[in-house]
Structure 1
Amino acid sequence: MTTQTILPVEAGTLGEWSVRSGEPDWLTESRLKALELAAGLELPKLEKTRIDRWNIQQYGKNQESVRIGQLADAPESIRSLIEGAGEGNLLIQHNSGVVYAKLAPGLEEQGVVFTDLQTAAKEHGELVRRYLGKAVAADESSVAALHAALWNGGVFLYVPKNVVIDAPIQAVYLTDDAESAFVPHVLIVAERGSALTYVDNYVSAKTEAGLHNGAAEVFVGAGAQVRFASVHQFGADTTDITYRRAVVDNDGSIEWIIGEMNDGDTVGDTKSLLQGNGSTSNAMIIAVGSGSQRLNYSCRAQHFGKNTPSDMITRAVMRENASSIINSITKIEKGATRADGQQTAKVLMLSPKARGDANPILLIDEDDVSAGHAASVGQVNPEQIYYLMSRGISRSDAEKLIIYGFLAPVVSQIPLEGLRDQLQSLVERKLGQ
């Protein structure tokens, strides 16, 4: 099926905006090329999901965002997310642009760069150009091409060789104006032997339909360690499409911690490309669907290097009329000897009308490997409910205990206490408890 892509902006308007924003010529040309690509590409092909019926056209227009000088001036809707963050190691994007970005002075002295991506393209052009669009390619689909053409704000985080950042680097992305384009792009480069933890939150506060078309690219150098944690809590009015990609060099490691807590239709695609020998990937994803949400989550690991272990654990809870497609995909390429790909996906349905579909997929082109998968979809066991109620526990509390026990294998492994607490409160909100 071919779907006509309606371009949200004309080439002339996009080019003028890029030039007016002071972007280098190569970036303006890249945007215009991507916009041209989008007109001829099809939508992403998603398992059992008709994305063409979703709200995927409400991009809005780039609106000027006013910078703030201190966190006290941040929008009230994100105050709880930045409490205790301090003045450094934090970036805030509000609708079309970044309004606050600050890095601790000690890290600046070590050569760390942490700023919005548009500023980085001007001040660190060669570095950004080397990596931008290399992991999430514009020709993947019309959605990817439109992202490459229209991205705004975003994050550029560069960590030099052997620099270890102990405190998390944080970012908050807020959309509260349906007329403003909201297309952030995250670009992280961790050089050889470096280490970092990046944590972000995506939030909406509006009553009109809108779209988030986001992407994150992470490049992990030899022996580097990157922990990438992301929580999405958009409202029912926002359609969320997010692609995350990591390219991992020899003995490097990427750890994904993803909380999918949206109230609207969602596509989340997280992929690790284990290019180097000894590179590793570990992904932990929890999701809660409610109302009439339609959700499509994919977690992937593609093994190229030798001795490359990957593990992915997904837990999803569906209630009311929510439906979900959970794909776990391990691809072991020819020559990736002694690779080890493991995956587990489980869906718990709390309503007779809720739907869950867990698809474990192993694609193996090499003999000397290990791989395994486990997948299950089911409802709350009434015997477990009865057992707990027989011990004096109410039905609602019994269901709550079972749900928390179901999610515990993922939540308990999250090494960041603040993130664990946040996900716990979001789970309670989504479950109406």
Structure 2
Amino acid sequence: MTTQTILPVNHEALAAFSKSSGEPAWVTEIRSKALELAAGLELPKLEKTRLDRWTLDNYGKLRQGAQTSEELPASLSSLIDINEHSNLIVQRNSGVVFTKLSPELTAQGVIFTDLETAVREHGDLVKKHLFTAIPAEENQLTALHAALWNGGVFLYVPKNVEVEVPLQAVFLIDDASASFTPHVLIVADSNSRVTYVDNYISGDLNQAIVHNGAAEVFVKAGSKVQFASVHHLAGQITDLTYRRAVVENDGSIEWIIGEMNAGDAMSETLSVLRGNGSTSDAKVIAVGSGSQKLNLTTKAVHFGKSSDSQMITRAVMREESTAIINGITKIEKGATKANGEQTEKVLMLSPKARGDANPILLIDEDDVTAGHAASVGQVNAEQIYYLMSRGISRAQAERLIIYGFLAPVVSDIPLEQLQNQLQSLVERKLGQ
């Protein structure tokens, strides 16, 4: 028995939206086909999580994106130095409201703009990559995303260009009646280097809404991409996010992820190591509170010879929150000399909190190295006793242990302002 899927928009309204946005015919066709797929596809099957029991019935209304301006929303003052906001994109609800790239990077051929503009002005480059790492036909969520995406980011770094400063995007939702479905597309051409940082925040909302977002990263031969992302959306928001990188010969992707939402959240961060000598390093932290439900997957699939993947996930759960933390290393036949290592750790601060760490190795090749470690438990009583014996209070001792537990990720955030903000978010979520 199958249940009928109630789509958040009909084909006529979607086609009208695409036309009024001035999108090329190929984008309109992608949207239409994706919406048709969504009607027949099922939600993804997650480990020990029933997505059909989550609040997924409000995607907001399709709206035209706002026009860009030189004025930043006042609510971003804590995230951005308003006197130094070059190389920045800001999306508010359905559309990008601010975009800026320094003349120096423009002169080097770097493209950093909203995706809606990019499909019109850089169509051939976008079309070659869009929805190829995260295909619409994968499941109902990816299909709905491909149909409804708005705003978003397109970043292209030409061959041999090394961008020395981080490029930053902020995604703000403060209107639950407007759709919020940004798509990030990054293409780092051969032997290039770039750091991209984004931040998902929310204002006061009067109803529940779904954020169905995605990021596709293409790391060409010899390139290096550092991708840092912090999500701290309000409790009324269900956060569903796919991140995926395709890495070619000797390319490198580094993920630094902070899952700091107040509502239910699902994410998958996946590196596809296609090239020989390709590498992936993923660091993820999460803090759960209240009655939150989290399902977080970090994954690497090895195709290339001598490819290497490293994963570290840390989750701290308090009150009645629950977390399913999955680490998956898949080494395909022919990926000789590949190495995959992963560690998942969950720290529970309350008797009612729950955490489940699932390390998974799927090996189809003999000549490889792979390993995993996982642990779930309470704060170590011996560590607390040791610190208290040195004159430190119990509360301070627990705080030090928690910060040390999360430090492998927090310390690697490539933007000091964002690193400080993440530290503040950890303190707030832990009630300290």
Q: Do Structure 1 and Structure 2 share a fold, with TM-score over 0.5? A: yes
Where 1:100 maps in the other structure, the secondary structure is strand
Where 2:78 maps in the other structure, the secondary structure is helix
Amino acid at match of 1:35: L
Shift of 1:382: 2.4
Query: Does 2:124 match 1:126?
Result: yes
Alpha-carbon distance between aligned partners in 1 of 2:391 and 2:4, rounded to the nearest angstrom: 58
Alpha-carbon distance between aligned partners in 2 of 1:411 and 1:171, rounded to the nearest angstrom: 19
Aligned equivalent of 1:280: 279
Where 2:382 maps in the other structure, the secondary structure is helix
Aligned equivalent of 2:176: 178
Shift of 1:357: 0.2
Where 1:31 maps in the other structure, the secondary structure is helix
Query: Does 2:96 match 1:98?
Result: yes
Shift of 1:273: 0.3
Question: How many residues get paired?
Answer: 431
Aligned equivalent of 2:192: 194
Alpha-carbon distance between aligned partners in 1 of 2:174 and 2:127, rounded to the nearest angstrom: 31
Aligned equivalent of 1:393: 392
Output aligned runs, 1:229-240, within 5 Å: 229-240=228-239
Gaps of 5+ in 1: none
Amino acid at match of 1:392: G
Query: Does 2:212 match 1:223?
Result: no
Aligned equivalent of 1:116: 114
Shift of 1:407: 1.3
Where 1:80 maps in the other structure, the secondary structure is coil
Shift of 1:88: 1.9
Query: Does 2:201 match 1:203?
Result: yes
- TM-score, length-normalised on structure 1? 0.97
Contact kept, 8 Å, 2:79 with 2:421, in 1: the verdict is no
Shifted more, 322-331 versus 85-94: the winner is 85-94
Aligned equivalent of 1:270: 269
Alpha-carbon distance between aligned partners in 1 of 2:425 and 2:3, rounded to the nearest angstrom: 36
Alpha-carbon distance between aligned partners in 2 of 1:200 and 1:87, rounded to the nearest angstrom: 14
Shift of 1:416: 4.0
Alpha-carbon distance between aligned partners in 1 of 2:3 and 2:363, rounded to the nearest angstrom: 32
Amino acid at match of 1:193: N
Output aligned runs, 1:14-413, within 5 Å: 14-70=14-70, 73-83=71-81, 86-207=84-205, 208-413=207-412
Shift of 1:68: 4.9
Shifted more, 95-104 versus 77-86: the winner is 77-86
- TM-score, length-normalised on structure 2? 0.97
Contact kept, 8 Å, 1:2 with 1:42, in 2: the verdict is no
Contact kept, 8 Å, 1:178 with 1:206, in 2: the verdict is no
- Indicate how the Cα distance of structure 1 residues 23 and 68 shifts in structure 2: closer, same or farther if over 3 A, else same: closer
Shift of 1:194: 0.6
Query: Does 2:28 match 1:4?
Result: no
Shift of 1:204: 1.1
Contact kept, 8 Å, 2:163 with 2:195, in 1: the verdict is yes
Where 2:79 maps in the other structure, the secondary structure is helix
Alpha-carbon distance between aligned partners in 1 of 2:417 and 2:117, rounded to the nearest angstrom: 30
Alpha-carbon distance between aligned partners in 2 of 1:134 and 1:374, rounded to the nearest angstrom: 32
Once the two structures are superposed, residues 164-219 of structure 1 have per-residue CA deviations (whole angstroms, 9 ceiling, x without a partner) of 10000000000000100000000000000110000000011133211100000000
Alpha-carbon distance between aligned partners in 2 of 1:330 and 1:191, rounded to the nearest angstrom: 26
Paired-residue identity, %: 68
Query: Does 2:424 match 1:425?
Result: yes
Gaps of 5+ in 2: none
Contact kept, 8 Å, 1:3 with 1:42, in 2: the verdict is no
Shift of 1:63: 2.5
Where 2:49 maps in the other structure, the secondary structure is coil
Alpha-carbon distance between aligned partners in 1 of 2:66 and 2:413, rounded to the nearest angstrom: 35
Contact kept, 8 Å, 2:214 with 2:241, in 1: the verdict is yes
Contact kept, 8 Å, 2:171 with 2:201, in 1: the verdict is yes
Where 1:277 maps in the other structure, the secondary structure is coil
Shifted more, 295-304 versus 46-55: the winner is 46-55
Alpha-carbon distance between aligned partners in 2 of 1:162 and 1:88, rounded to the nearest angstrom: 22
Once the two structures are superposed, residues 43-102 of structure 1 have per-residue CA deviations (whole angstroms, 9 ceiling, x without a partner) of 0100111110111121111234443532xx322222211125724200000000001111
Alpha-carbon distance between aligned partners in 2 of 1:2 and 1:205, rounded to the nearest angstrom: 37
